[in-house]
Amino acid sequence: MTQSLYSRPEPILRMADGTVKQLNPFSGTEVWTVPGRGNRPFSTPASAVHDIDAQAHVATCAFCAERRLETPPEKSRILATGEILRGVSAGALDATEPLFRRVPNLFEIVSFDYWEQNYGYQLDAATQARMDAYLADPAGREHVLRTVRTKRAASGQPDADDEALLAQSHCFFGGGHDVIVGRNHYVPGATTDDRLASSGTLTPEEHRLFVQFTADSMRDLYEHNRYASYVVAFQNWLAPAGASFDHLHKQLVAIDDRGMAAGHELEILRAHPNMYNEWAVDYAMQHNLIIAENDHAVLFAGFGHRYPTLEIYSKSATCEPWLQSSEERDAMSDLIHAAHVAVGPHVACNEEWHHRPPSTATPAPWRVMIKLRVSTLAGFEGGTKIYINTISPWNLRDRIVDPLYKARDEGRVARSIRIATECEPRRNSLRYNPLL
């Protein structure tokens, strides 16, 4: 890394008093970890715990199994066998038991109207045929009408006649903001409402299907919208991380502009094509921040983030998640899952996916950030743009490694992962860079 790009050459600087100053090598974000502020626990036990019955397992929120008609028409679902079913009709929603469902977000970040009015976007023939078939079924027509009315009522719009409502339903079939919804609201067999089903309570096999289905959905959004420059994939877990429902789900949003930060990182990458090896994984290895790895992915305690962050990088030469082999994608899933297991279900966090989009030729590895929302940004950060992260990278590493050993012994994470000192340090382990 060069002095001309950054105020100092090292991403991590330890001060004599124990303060750790961090600089994100890609974004330039400045972070300090000061002594004495990192001893608080990640999670806070629920202040009130209530008993739940069997009905709560299937009907607590709009994402639950017995309330499937409260979400817009389903685009696809994945079964426990790994089979993906597409365009399930309203009358067949209960014919199979999905492990995960993909449904449009009722309140899109980037709306169908945005694509239509700015780019002339229209439904392709296959999507139009799916929409026509869904509306031809009386149950499907009624479902769509009820969903449009719900959306209009939420925004203060008056009711309208059926034809006017149906004219607003294209977003449910060709929109670019989808939600991947988990089957369970609570852990199977739970009797109290503090036992939410999270990424970490899935089995390794279930989490692999979660990742596979998310990657397939990303591919589908790219293929159906030629104007999409990028598909943002993320997961908000619990209200402090921005979740509307305490029900496991990921979100996918097609956008036409990746933003200035991503553009800046791409410029640096073009000048330093091996930076994800040198400034991320290799640097973490040199500073003993590697937490776990397997043959195709590596997990380490990140640095230079506003929140304590676990970073998972794919070692694959293939940059797109949906194009990777099952073995490579499963390896990423196993480490993402392991991170969630070690953190636990009571910690609010954001899971962010980063990948090379089809619109960019420059190779970049698929990588996932899990950011723990255990602190609140305040006036100091706003005034200085220096962020106080209460957990140092080494503290984060230590907090994850011990529960990870225990989880592996108990079979709650993939047994193929190597932890801490079991990892095999090797420079340039990420194979995205064709120059290596």
Average pLDDT, the chain: 93
- Nearest Cα neighbor of 206 from 22, 41, 78 is 78
Instruction: Tell me the residue range of the domain where 132 lies.
Output: 69-177
User: pLDDT grade, residue 6 (50/70/90)?
Assistant: very low
162 and 195 assigned to the same domain = no
Listing DSSP states for 167-193 in one string gives: TT-THHHH-SEEEEEES-SB-TT--BT
187 and 172 assigned to the same domain = no
Boundary residue ending a domain (177, 209, 228): 177
Give the pLDDT of residue 8: 46
289 and 417 assigned to the same domain = yes
> Residue 303: which residues within 8 A CB-CB, separation 6 or more?
11, 12, 22, 24, 31, 283, 284, 289, 393
Q: Is the pLDDT of residue 29 over 60?
A: yes
> Residue 69: which residues within 8 A CB-CB, separation 6 or more?
90, 93, 143, 146
Determine what percent of the chain is predicted with pLDDT higher than 90. Answer: 85
User: What domain count does the chain have?
Assistant: 2
Global confidence as pTM = 0.95
Determine, yes or no, domain membership for 170: yes
**Amino acid code (one letter) for 401:** V
Q: Is the Cβ–Cβ distance between 287 and 393 less than 8 Å?
A: yes
129: part of which helix (H) or strand (E)? helix 125-136
242 and 94 assigned to the same domain = no
Average pLDDT over residues 184-204: 97
Boundary residue ending a domain (143, 177, 211): 177
Pairing of the two strands 30-33 and 386-388: parallel
Determine, yes or no, domain membership for 157: yes
Give the pLDDT of residue 2: 42
218 and 324 assigned to the same domain = yes
Boundary residue ending a domain (177, 199, 224): 177
- Lowest average pLDDT, out of 35-39, 106-110, 253-257, 377-381, goes to 35-39
Q: What is the pLDDT of residues 403-414, one digit of tens each?
A: 999 999 999 999
275 and 146 assigned to the same domain = no
Average pLDDT over residues 338-356: 97
Q: Is the pLDDT of residue 367 over 90?
A: yes
CA–CA gap between residue 184 and residue 381 (Å, rounded) = 38
CA–CA gap between residue 236 and residue 247 (Å, rounded) = 10
CA–CA gap between residue 378 and residue 37 (Å, rounded) = 15
Determine, yes or no, domain membership for 21: no
196 and 213 assigned to the same domain = yes
